[in-house]
Each structure stands twice: as structure tokens, then as C-alpha cells.
Structure 1
């Protein structure tokens, strides 16, 4: 091979090397836990400037519903967007009724299955070495049953409405009922009141059993000392 050919080959190898690094930069190389994020859609929908729509199959019963299942790696990062995937939504049709109940979206116009596709493409593709397309959704649904936030709060007398509750009481109620400490995030309604929005519990590397979260991102203590659990949308 001549010098020109050798030079072109070297450049090609270098380009491919960079491509491999780029594609692999977000993969989970040291999976440590899964973070199951649940949200109260009442708090999402009552923010200033936010419009929500009920799903075409009707308004779900009040509940904390799945926002996502995030893989967390030992280097302190949440992997995401780990490459394109040929997502076949038809493969999870058999669990569609349960997904509609436990993993709905109130976005307008209603995006339905696109929400599940988005979550798989953003987070699920990073778990393919541990959970495939179907096990990923099954894991999220099973973990939600283990972390029944709405039920845990109701047992402690914390119910939707305009009343303010102590953030400490909310965390204590969740920890006592579910057995693990939650990561609670808040947002603000149109009146500027702090309200519970997301609650996260963690699972082990298999995605089957709840564990204590190994890491809580800094700068996420965005709740006031007393917060609301607003009416469901």
C-alpha cells in the first residue's frame, strides 16, 4: 500500500475510534442502581402556563404515576440517549392497559405511546445489557407496586387538597410505609406555592428490589419546609 493509502487508512481508523467513543460515552459501564421516578400530575398540570389533557381512554384514578426509570452508574452519572433503537411498541401491547394506568401522560395534544417510546429511547436503551425492551417496562411497573406513594401518604392522613403538610412528615410517612428513604422534588403552582411533584425510590441492579438510593443529586433540595399535595388534575 502506498503512502497515500496508508494515510487514508490511518485517518479512517482514527475517525472510527472517535465514533466508538462518542457512541459509548453515555452507556452504563458500571450500573449501580435504578431510580424509579414517580410524579403527581396534579402538580405538573397546575403550573403557570401549563395545559394538560386527559388521555383518550379517560381520566386515570388519582395516583402517583411513573415518570421514568433511570439507570445510575458508579461514576455518579445518569446515562441517557445511548443510541438509536428500533423500538417496536407493538411488543408491549399486552401490558398497555397497565401502562395507561401507571405510566400515563397528560401532555396536550395527548402523546400516548410516544411517551413510552421517549422514555425507552432516552433511558431504556442504556439498560439493554441488563433489561431488554419488555423487562424494562415490567421492572418499572413492578417497582411502582412496591413503592405505592399515594397509599403511603393516605395512611398518614396526607391527602390531595389545599392543605400544607410538613416536608419532614411526608418523607417520614413514605419511609415508614415503603421502608426506604425517598428523594422528594417540588415545583410551584400558579400561585407560587411549593408542592410535591416527584418522588423517587431506588432499586438494585436487577431492577427487582428497592434499596436505599446511593446518590441524591446536589442542588435538588427545591422544596419549602411546608408543601401542598394539590388536587389531581
Structure 2
């Protein structure tokens, strides 16, 4: 009888906790807006880029994130719908400029992978179209133009080397909050690869990034 009572209690507890587990799927705390430097991205690929890289930061992704991790691949939502994008040719045209697939040349496929892996995690806030509109709107903010921020502060592409703190400080002063600077390694050099800015849960307000994923501060950063 005691074992039977214990089994009943465990079953009740399972049902009590199950809704909490299911409703937590897709929850997130903030967005990471990830900009990638096209030349470094192409250097880091196993296969050559199909599109000649431009010396510009374009979007890698808008990633709903928790303060503990990025919940990519953990969310369940409506899969990417090509036809929805086709209904807004202006948005498609904008995204081809701000969010191109430099590596494979398949823009729609790139957007689809990003939505399925990351965008669905924010579906409680944005539908598919709204998600891409928000990313493009952030990229188009003059204040958030990472390419021009670095150029205007004499951080020039073409092989120059710079201190991590200097790059971080320049961007922080320009945008008003701390970014994340990410690198990839080529031989013995770390290359400036990505700049990440962080945004509130509704994607409207810039916040401080607190991730530890960044370049090593022990080495200079090469800017291809």
C-alpha cells in the first residue's frame, strides 16, 4: 500500500511540473544581434565563399538568448515559410543587402536556417516577417553601423592589428553600451569576425552584453 501511495504521489508531481516544462519552451531573456565581417567569415569557412566578400558588417543572425545560453535548436514553432517572404518584395530586397548569404549565395535558405534555429524561439514576440523586419531595422540604424563606427575611429580593414579593449571601447562609446567582440583564429593570428550588440526582449532597447564569448585580450586582433 505504501508503494502504491508513493507511485500516485510521483504521478501527481509529474503532471504538476509538466506544464512548467512545456510552457518554458521558447522563453528567452534578450536578443543578440550578431554582425559578421564578411572577409573573416570567408577565411573561416572550409569551402570558398560563392559571393565575393565585401568589406562590410552584415547580419549573421538575431538570436533570442537566455542569460545562461542561446536556446537555438531547442524551440518549437512554425517553420520558415518562403511564400511569406515573397509577399513582401521590399523586405526581401532590404535583407539581400543587410543579411546576405555570402558563403552559399542562397539568401532565402540562409534566412530559413536562421529562423528555424533561432527565430522560432522568439515567436511569442515576433512572427516570421516581424522578426526579419526587426533585424533589418536594427542594422539600418545609423548609430548601429559597425562598419562606419570602426572606420570613423581609424580602425581600418586591410590587415591592421588592434587591441581588444580599444575596439570594444570605440564601439561602446558610439552605441552607448558594451558589445561582444568575437574572433576566429588563422594560424597564429586572431581575426575580427563578429560584433554582437544586445537588445531587450522586445528588440527595441539596447542593453549591455554580458556574455563571456569573446576574443582573447592577450593577443592583438587583426582586421582583414
Q: What interval of TM-score do these two structures reach, taking the shorter chain for normalisation?
A: 0.7 to 0.9
After superposition, the C-alpha distances for 1:188-212 in whole angstroms (9 at most, x for unaligned) are 23x4311110110011111122121
Paired residue for 2:50? 53
Distance in 2, Cα, partners of 1:149 & 1:184: 11
Matched residue, 2:103? 107
1:88-110 Cα deviation digits (max 9, x unpaired): 223223211111111112224x3
Q: Of Structure 1 and Structure 2, which has the larger fraction of its residues in helix?
A: 2
Contact 1:143–1:210 (CA under 8 A) maintained in structure 2: no
Task: Return the offset for 1:47.
Answer: 3.3
Query: 1:8 matched to which residue of 2?
Result: none
Deviating 4+ runs (over 3 angstroms): 20-26, 47-50, 219-225
Matches for 1:31-42 after TM superposition, within 5 Å? 31-42=28-39
Deviations 1:51-108 (A, max 9, x none): 1111xxxx5753111111111235x232223125242223223211111111112224
User: Could you say which structure has the greater relative contact order, defined with CA pairs below 8 angstroms and 6 or more residues apart?
Assistant: 1
Asked if 1:142 corresponds to 2:174, the answer is no
Are residues 1:162 and 2:159 paired? yes
The match for 1:27 is 26
Residue 123 of structure 2 aligns with which residue? 128
When the two structures are aligned, how many residues end up with a matched partner? 205
Aligned to 2:204: 208
Distance in 2, matches of 1:176 and 1:21, equals 41
Counterpart-to-counterpart distance in 2, 1:65 and 1:140: 11
| TM-score between both structures, scaled by the size of structure 2 | 0.80
Provide the secondary structure at the position in 2 that maps to 1:96. helix
> Is the alpha carbon distance of 1:202 and 1:90 closer, same or farther for their aligned partners in structure 2, counting shifts above 3 Å?
same
Mind listing any 5+ residue stretches in structure 1 that lack a counterpart?
1-10
Instruction: Name the SS for the 2:44 alignment partner.
Output: coil
What displacement does 1:25 show? 6.1
Q: TM-score under structure 1 normalisation?
A: 0.78
RMSD: 2.6
CA–CA distance in structure 1, aligned partners of residues 121 and 77 of structure 2: 10
The residue aligned with 1:79 is 71
Alignment CA distance shift 1:111-1:25 (3 Å): farther
- 8 Å Cα contact 1:26/1:80 also seen in 2: no
